[in-house]
Structures are given as structure tokens and as C-alpha cells.
Amino acid sequence: MTPLIEQLTQKRISIAPLITFRVLFGFIMMISLIRFAAYGWIHELYIAPDYYFSYTGLDWVKPFEGVGMYLVFLIMFVSSAGIFLGLFYHLSSIIFFLTFTYVELIDKTNYLNHYYFVSLIAFLLIFVPANKSWSLDIHRKSIIKTAYVPAWTINIFKLQLIIVYFFAGLAKINPYWLFEAMPLKIWLPAKSHLPVLGPLFQFEWVAFLFSWAGMFYDLTIAFFLLIKKTRLAAYIAVVIFHLLTAFLFQIGMFPFIMILSALIFFSAERHIEWQTYIRKIFDFKDLEPEKSQKLANPSPSRFIVTYLLIPFFVLQILIPFRSHAYPGDLFWTEQGYRFSWRVMLMEKAGFTTFRIEDDQGKTEWVDNTDYLSPQQVKMMSTQPDMILQFAHFLKKTYADKGFNNPKVFCESKVSLNGRRSQEFIDPTIDLGSIKQDFKHKYWITDFEK
Amino acid sequence: MYSRKSDKFIHVKAVHNIFILLLAAIVMVRCSESDSTNPGSNPQPEPGESINLAEIRQEIALHIANHFILPGYEELENDVEALTKALNEFVNVPTEANLTLSQEELRKLWISWQNIALFQIGPAETNALRLAINTYPTDTGKIESNIQSTNVPLASIDNRDAVGLPAIDYLLNKNLDEGQTNLDLFINNAERGLYLIALAEELTTKIGLVATEWRQNNYLNLFTANTAAGTDVGSALGQVVNSIDVHFQQFLRDGKVAIPAGVRSAGIPRPRAVEALYGGYGRELLVAAINSYINLFEGRGIDRTEGTSIIDYLEAIDHSSIGVDIQTSLKGNLTRAQSLNQNLSVQIEENNELMIDLFIDLQKTITLIKSDMSSVMGITITNQDNDGD
């Protein structure tokens, strides 16, 4: 093992940053879940729909009936509290990861990069000893309070954030974003009524400024957070950037999750300072740091790092590049678009309808809302994999309804990044006869810039 | 163990490398893209001080509120009052002349309704006004049994297809066997008359409730406030566009055209599902509905006042071609609708092709509104509130 790798993985360092991270992550997850439930989204997204867009190969992932989904969210909430409090921490983190990821896998119309981020962080939390200080677990006899951990337990979170930011930045290096200021040129003027900055938003140069600044920010911020000299300034930039996006766009908890997560980059001394401060305010006596120099050393650590975490990160670095395996404009076809930190990257809207014909001359135009929620209709209308999936569902549904050998034709018009709408799907192709796989979807009409 | 110094050095070096990589990447992209032209961005006129997009959006909201919604409700209130008066006279003195007057008042109200039906916003939405006023086809069996019962809860969801304009249409315009007239049904049948008047009163209550909430309970202020001058969910324009998206598809295209034409039922027409089945003036209502869209886009108020319109906004953001196309498409829809038989059931039975052609033609307008227009305006079409990323 080279010295650098040894240092980044096995060096003994203070547990303090990991503690801050665990507590804040558990906390913000609890808040997010309360918000999610309060908006009625459990029912709206996981109980009300008749049909769910499952991921290819994961169509066995289905929501539970009745109160089942409420129960899942309750368990998820309890486990996030477990992470926050450090109570039954390992069990809690496993359950949180499983329930959260399960819910996200039910329907891809609900896919958000920030949910993907939460799943990844939750997965990493399973393997770190984040309950060895500031936790209720240390009152249980099996857990020993510790002050030090191997460096990898903290560095994996930094690496995760580096990947998120850097790939979000890479994704912005595209001609729409940089040379047309799209989609900000549409989104910012729509916000020109807001106070203070609002009046500026209708100017084209502001959209360009934001686009380029956003790209540089995403590409570099994680590295400025790594360097001690620039760290504080970089963190202030993190706060400003994410608050601005929270103010401008409807992106829920994501900005706050990132603002809190980025604290991991601060030095152990800083974390210890903050924790001492909190301890004094609340007079938490049993949060005294452990004096012993003993290392919390989960014995299988080297094994986990080598066989689990290295593939985990390598995969994450490869996955965003899979889109290059497909021809055509990525934003148009969205082949290999998800799981790549392509965040707020395009303005896309469409109108997609289906016509069913059977071999006895019966014709029916489908009312999508008979089967889908407004959100599902919106997402399906511009994403070919979902269009195909829904077409297959329609084929089956209409066969059951008595259509003889139904053919499913799609008429779809989509506008991308402020251009006029164009034909999206070849209207002469029976989508029911097209296999659902990861091959190039040749039945997507070519995009004309 | 390594000193902090080397730790830092490693970071700095990594950052240095990344920067070089980044720089190279940008230069590469620039080179490969610089000669491709830039068609998406029509040369946008630098909107100087003279154009303020937020102000235009607020002007549109004010115009819609003051010259569409408020006068629209006023018109509905007047028409429903006139209808109630005519019905009372008819029930008290069931003569042919009074029947004809009632039928005329119903028709007037139904046409006025077309002007407001597309604005299912705020109080209209919370009170489910559209469902209470115009759910069809009406359930004649339920109406007849309601007439025989006492204390029928007309406001209940179960009775939506036994109340409102379509129910009054049935009672006043019912097609009868030879030798009978609608008049006969009301003579010596107090219950039938009472139900008719109860229906009118229920309409009066609902319309009054929504109108009052718009006028007095600050919904107007909320709708026209500066804070609602964005395009997000809950903004005035966001609400209008989402409302017309639903109305145009579900009520104009499907309710008035597609469903009766059999588009949603394996091609088997359902001529009895038309609007104003008994009065037989479905085309007039359809034409009125399309006209209300033309007026909305062109900014011509229900009170005939001209004002800032969505078309003006599209011009201001340099997408006037979309506005022009929407106008053209709507006028194409209108021409087709005007060529239909006044009685849409007859049209469907005689030549359903024209109905299906109109359906396909209406789809074009929806594409323009839902895809082209909402996209450049930055309006999200979904009545569901949720996060993006």
C-alpha cells in the first residue's frame, strides 16, 4: 500500500467530523420525512397511483397495500431518528438505507438526484463507526466510546461529495448550458418578480453569468473545500450557492442537505470546537470526549474498503459515462441520463398521447390520466423509457379489455431548452412490439437543433 | 504517519491537476462547439428598462382577474338570477311562453358558463364549481327518483350528475313521445317544479359563494399580488396555465368532443354523452368555449376590455411565433367547430368523422400550450406539487 493511500484510509484521526455528519444527516432526514408526510406525498406518490414506473429488472419492487406505505415511512423515520441519536445505530442505518432505497425504486417518475445522493450516503453510513461518541449506543455495554477512527470512515463522505459536485460540474459543460445559457435563460426571467435580485433575472447576461459561475462552482468547490486555506471561503460559497438555488427553484431539502453535508470538510479541531460549544450550552455531561487513544477499529475495515467501497466508487465514476454509448442528443433521448448528477440541466416539456388499434379495426385514443397521476404524465411525456414502459402496460390493459392483438402507437411532441416542439417518437411504430432493454432506442425521432 | 505539511501538499497538487484537466476540457468543448450556430437562442432583444417581465405577468393577472373572472362571475350571477325568476314563473304558471323563456334563460347561462369554466382557480377549485354546474351526461333515473324523494342533498358528490345545467336541460327540454309536451309534465306535478327550482337555487348558492370569495375574501389580492407574479406552482400565471391545461383536455376536448365521438370507447360513438343533449345546442357551447380561449390569449375580456395578454408576454420573451401559432390553431379549431351540426348528437350519428377530425385538431392546440408555450414561459404543468432537482 502506498503511503498516500495508507494515509487516506488507515491513518488514525479524530471521530469528531464523523459525529457531526451523522447527527446532522439523521436530523435533516427526520425533517425531510416530516415534510414529505405533511405534504401528503406518501399517499400521492405511493398509494394513489394505479400504475408505477418500475426500473428495468426491478419490477418486483412494488408499494405495499393499505397502510403498508405509511408503515414503511414510519420505520424510515424511526431509523433516521436512530441515526440522529446514535441508537441501535448499525441496525438503524441499515434499515434507513433499505427503506429509503426501496421507496425510491418503486417509481422512476419520482427520481431525483438528491434522493440518489441520500441513498448513497445512507449506504456508506452502514459501514462506519459513527456511534462511538455522542450516541445513546455508548450507554449500551457493547459499544465502547472512542475518540479516533481510521481516516477512510470520514474520507469516503468527502469523496462522495467530490463526486457529486464534480460530475454536476462536468454535466454543465455542454453547449446549451454554456453558450445558450439554457435553461437558466428561461428559469431566471420567470423569477424576476422576486425582491432584491429579481429585476436582474430578466437580463440575458445574468443567465450566462449564473450558468458559467454554476459550472465553475460545481467543478471546483469540493477541491477548495479540501484545501485548508480556502476552506472557509469555499464553505461560505456553498451556503450562498445552495441558498440561492433554494430561493429560486423548487428543489425541496436538497440545498440544506448539501449545506450540512459539506461541513465534513472542516478539520477535526473545528468539529471538536463546535461539539464542545454545544456540549457546554446543553450541559451534556456524558458527551465528554474519550481520553483514550484507542482506535475504533472495525476489524473488517480493510476488507470493506477493498472489496466494497472501491467498487462502489469506481462504479459511481463510470456510470455517468454510460450515456456516451448511445447515439443522439443525450438531453433529447435521455439514454443513460439518470444517476449521473445531471442536476437542473434542461427545460423539457411535452405532450404525449397513445392510440390503440386492434386487428379488427377498433381504435381508441388513451386518456393518460385514466392510469397516471399528473406528475407521472408529465415525466412520462418527455422520457422515452417511460413512454415504452407505459405502451407495454397499455398493450396488456387493452388486450384484457378485449382488443384483439392491440398495437400501441404514440404521438408525442416535445420542446427542449426553449426550442419549438418537435416530433419525439416515430408515430408509425407499434411500441408494444419493441423490447424493453438498454439498447439504443432507434424509434426516437432525431432531434433537430 | 505523515505531517500536515505533506497532507496539504498532496491536496494542492491534486487541485492543480484537476484545474489543468478542467481547463483542457473547456477548451476542447469550446473548439468543438464554437462553429456550430446557436439556433435555440433567437437574438433576444436585451430587455431594457422598457420591458419588465414581472410587471407584464402581473398586468396579465390583473387583467384576467378584473376583466375575465370578476365580470364572468357577475354575468353568471345575473344569468342565474334571470333563470331562477323565469323558472319560478314557469312553475307557478306553466305556460308554453314561460317554458320557452326558461329554456332561453338556461341557454344564456350555459353560454356564459363557457367563459368562466376554464378558470377553475382558487375558490372555484376549492368549491368544485365545475362539477356542481356542468356534470354530464346527467343521470335521468337519479333525477326522476330525486323528484319523488324529500330532502335530497343536492350539494352532495353523489348528486353531481343529477344537478346543475344538464339536469335543468333534461327537465326543460326532455324529448318526449308524440302527443306529449314538457308542459304536461309540470302541470299537476308540484314535485317536478320544486326540484327544478331547487336546482336553480343550488346553482345560485354555488355561484354566489365562489363569486363572493373572489371579490371579498381576498382571493383577488392573492391572485394579483406581486408575490404571485412568478410562473411557479401557485403563481397567477402558473394557476391559469395549469387550469386551462386541464380544462382544454378534459372538458373541451374530451367532454364536448372526444367522449361523445367514441374516441375513448373503442370507436363506438356515444351520441347521448354530448353537452346540452336535450336542448340540442352543443355546437353553440363548443364554439363559445373555443372563443373564450381565443379571447383569453388575445386579452379580450368578458367585459370586452382589451388588456395585456399571454400573447403579449410571449412577444416580450421573444417567442411571438408561439403566440401566433396558438391563435392560428384556435381559429382552426373554431372553424371546424362552426361547421358542425348545432345538435352534436345528430352530427355524430350523421358524420362522426368531422368530430374525430376536430378532436385531432384540438390536440395541436394542446401541444402548443402544453409543450411550446409552457416551456418557454418556465411554467411547470402538473397540478401536483413536488420537488425537482
Task: Convert the pLDDT of each residue in B309-328 to its tens digit.
Answer: 999 999 999 999 999 999 99
Cβ separation of A190 and B372 shorter than 8 Å?
no
CA A175 vs CA A54, A180, A327, A421: distances in Å: 32, 7, 17, 19
Q: Using an 8 Å Cβ cutoff, are B387 and A257 in contact?
A: no
- Residues 312-371 (A) with a CB less than 8 A from some CB of B: 343-344, 347-351, 353, 361-365, 367, 369
Residue bearing the bigger pLDDT, B382 or A442: A442
The pLDDT, as a whole number, for residue B18 is: 46
pLDDT along chain A (449 residues), means of 10: 82 94 98 96 95 94 94 98 96 98 97 96 95 88 82 96 97 97 94 88 95 97 97 97 92 95 97 91 69 60 83 97 96 96 94 96 95 95 97 97 96 96 98 95 95
- Per-residue pLDDT tens for B136-180? 999 999 999 999 988 889 988 899 999 999 999 999 998 776 667
Q: Is B352 on the interface with A (CB under 8 A)?
A: no
- Say which residues have a Cβ less than 8 Å from residue B155's Cβ, sequence separation at least 6: B132, B202, B205, B206
To the nearest whole Å, the CA of B194 is away from the closest chain A CA by 37
To the nearest whole Å, the CA of B16 is away from the closest chain A CA by 9
The pLDDT, as a whole number, for residue B181 is: 76
- Say which residues have a Cβ less than 8 Å from residue A311's Cβ, sequence separation at least 6: none
Cβ separation of B54 and A417 shorter than 8 Å?
no
Task: Tell me the residue type at A112.
Answer: L
- Say which residues have a Cβ less than 8 Å from residue A267's Cβ, sequence separation at least 6: A17, A228
Q: What is residue A363's DSSP assignment?
A: E
ipTM for this prediction: 0.91
CA–CA gap between residue B232 and residue A187 (Å, rounded): 10
Q: Using an 8 Å Cβ cutoff, are B244 and B296 in contact?
A: yes
* pLDDT surpasses 50 at B44: no
To the nearest whole Å, the CA of B137 is away from the closest chain A CA by 18
End-to-end CA distance of chain B: 42
Helix (H, G, I), strand (E, B) or coil at A326: coil
- Per-residue pLDDT tens for B183-207? 888 888 889 999 999 999 999 999 9
- Probe site for chain B from A154, A201, A420, A424 (most B CB atoms < 10 A): A420
Confidence band, pLDDT 50/70/90 cuts, at residue B31: very low
Q: Is A7 on the interface with B (CB under 8 A)?
A: yes
Peptide bond into B271 cis (omega under 30): no
Cβ separation of A203 and B40 shorter than 8 Å?
no
Q: Is B266 on the interface with A (CB under 8 A)?
A: yes
The pLDDT, as a whole number, for residue A442 is: 97
The pLDDT, as a whole number, for residue A321 is: 97
Write down the pTM of the prediction: 0.90
The pLDDT, as a whole number, for residue B226 is: 86
CA–CA gap between residue A203 and residue A185 (Å, rounded): 8
Q: Using an 8 Å Cβ cutoff, are A415 and A421 in contact?
A: yes
Cross-chain CB nearest to A193 (options B29, B57, B322) = B57
Give long-range contacts, CB 8 A cutoff, 24+ apart: A304-311: A304/A127, A305/A9, A305/A152, A308/A127, A309/A124, A309/A127, A309/A152, A309/A156
* pLDDT surpasses 50 at B45: no
End-to-end CA distance of chain A: 50
- Residues 70-129 (A) with a CB less than 8 A from some CB of B: 112-114
Q: Using an 8 Å Cβ cutoff, are B295 and B302 in contact?
A: yes
- What burial letters (b/e) apply to B251-275, b meaning 16+ CB within 10 Å? bbbbbbbbbbbbbbebbebbbebbb
To the nearest whole Å, the CA of B276 is away from the closest chain A CA by 23
- In this structure, what are the phi and psi dihedrals at residue A149, rounded to the nearest 5 degrees? -135, 160
The pLDDT, as a whole number, for residue B28 is: 41
Q: Is B3 on the interface with A (CB under 8 A)?
A: no
Task: For cell 459539506, name the residue.
Answer: A262
Cβ separation of B41 and A180 shorter than 8 Å?
yes
The pLDDT, as a whole number, for residue A285 is: 64
Task: For cell 370578476, name the residue.
Answer: B70
The pLDDT, as a whole number, for residue A401 is: 93
- In the structure grid, which three cell numbers stand for residue B108, read together? 344564456
- In this structure, what are the phi and psi dihedrals at residue A354, rounded to the nearest 5 degrees? -125, 140
Cross-chain CB nearest to A362 (options B51, B266, B388) = B266
- Per-residue pLDDT tens for B234-256? 899 999 999 999 999 999 999 99
Q: Using an 8 Å Cβ cutoff, are B89 and B208 in contact?
A: no
Cross-chain CB nearest to B47 (options A182, A193, A202) = A202
Confidence band, pLDDT 50/70/90 cuts, at residue B41: very low
Q: Cβ–Cβ contacts within 10 Å for residue B115, how many?
A: 23
Cβ separation of A365 and B377 shorter than 8 Å?
no
- Say which residues have a Cβ less than 8 Å from residue B50's Cβ, sequence separation at least 6: none
The pLDDT, as a whole number, for residue B387 is: 75
- Chain mean position to CA A31: 17
Residue bearing the bigger pLDDT, B215 or B32: B215
Q: By CA distance, what is B41's nearest residue in A?
A: A180
- Chain mean position to CA B164: 18
DSSP H stretches of helix in A86-151: 89-106, 113-125
Task: For cell 469555499, name the residue.
Answer: A234
| For chain B, the helix, strand and coil percentages under 3-state DSSP, each to the nearest 5 | 70, 0, 30
Of residues B117, B126, B103, B113, the one with CA closest to residue B77: B113
Cross-chain CB nearest to A449 (options B39, B258, B377) = B39
Q: Which residues of B touch A112 (CB under 8 A)?
A: 387-389
Size of interface A-B (CB pairs under 8 A): 184
CA–CA gap between residue B41 and residue B26 (Å, rounded): 21
- Residues 39-78 (B) with a CB less than 8 A from some CB of A: 39-41, 44, 46-47, 51-54, 57-58
Residue bearing the bigger pLDDT, A144 or B38: A144
CA–CA gap between residue B99 and residue B92 (Å, rounded): 11
CA–CA gap between residue B250 and residue A279 (Å, rounded): 60
- Per-residue pLDDT tens for B331-381? 999 999 999 999 999 999 999 999 999 999 999 999 999 999 999 999 988
- Say which residues have a Cβ less than 8 Å from residue A76's Cβ, sequence separation at least 6: A33, A95, A96, A99, A100, A103
CA–CA gap between residue A254 and residue A247 (Å, rounded): 12
Residue bearing the bigger pLDDT, B44 or A102: A102
Of residues B52, B379, B46, the one with CA closest to residue B239: B379
Q: Is B125 on the interface with A (CB under 8 A)?
A: no
Confidence band, pLDDT 50/70/90 cuts, at residue B12: very low
Q: By CA distance, what is A230's nearest residue in B?
A: B12
* pLDDT surpasses 90 at B26: no
Q: Exposed/middle/buried for A177, CB within 10 Å: 0-12, 13-18, 19+?
A: buried
The pLDDT, as a whole number, for residue B7 is: 41
CA–CA gap between residue A326 and residue B74 (Å, rounded): 58
- What burial letters (b/e) apply to A192-218, b meaning 16+ CB within 10 Å? bbbeeebbbbbbbebbbebbeebbebb
Cβ separation of A250 and B387 shorter than 8 Å?
yes
